[in-house]
Amino acid sequence: MDCVFCQLISEDAVEWIARGPSACAFAPLDPIAPGHTLVVPIEHATDIFDATPPVLADTMTLVRQVADAMRSTLGAEGVNILHASGPGSEQSVPHLHFHVIPRWSDDNFSTWPTSRSQHKVTGEPVRHLAAAFPRTSPRR
């Protein structure tokens, strides 16, 4: 088995937080905050582009449940949900996963980028994106 997350799940070799029929949550090996959690689909999907809509929906439902638990059990004031998909995104493990990181106003760190992309797109990026979706509501 080449996928480290698939191996950890199949060998039951993680500190489980939640385990459902299609998604699971466990503690990462090197958490960046108390309660930092990884949420992954049990079925292998390389990234968001590879996941089926039902698997992605189940995984995101568990992300929300973990976030709610962080507020209710850890007293987190908020959460950051971090994800990377694809070669240009700095994805570290080729298995779809979401980092759910509890946050407090006094935690003294930032998960926000400190710089801007230098990549240029020809034309207007927002218009290119909007063109990919049919118009279902009136324009403003």
| 97 included as an active-site residue | yes
Please enumerate, as own/partner, the contacts of 77-85 that have beta carbons within 8 Å and a separation of 24 or more: 77/103, 77/104, 77/105, 78/102, 78/103, 79/103, 80/111, 82/111, 83/48, 85/47, 85/48, 85/49
Write out the H or E segment, with its range, that includes residue 66.
helix 53-74
How many of the other CB atoms lie within 10 Å of CB of 49?
Answer: 9
3-class DSSP state for residue 28? coil
Catalytic residue, candidates 36, 44, 95, 97 = 97
Residue 50, token pair as written in the block:
């590879």
Residues catalogued as catalytic: 97
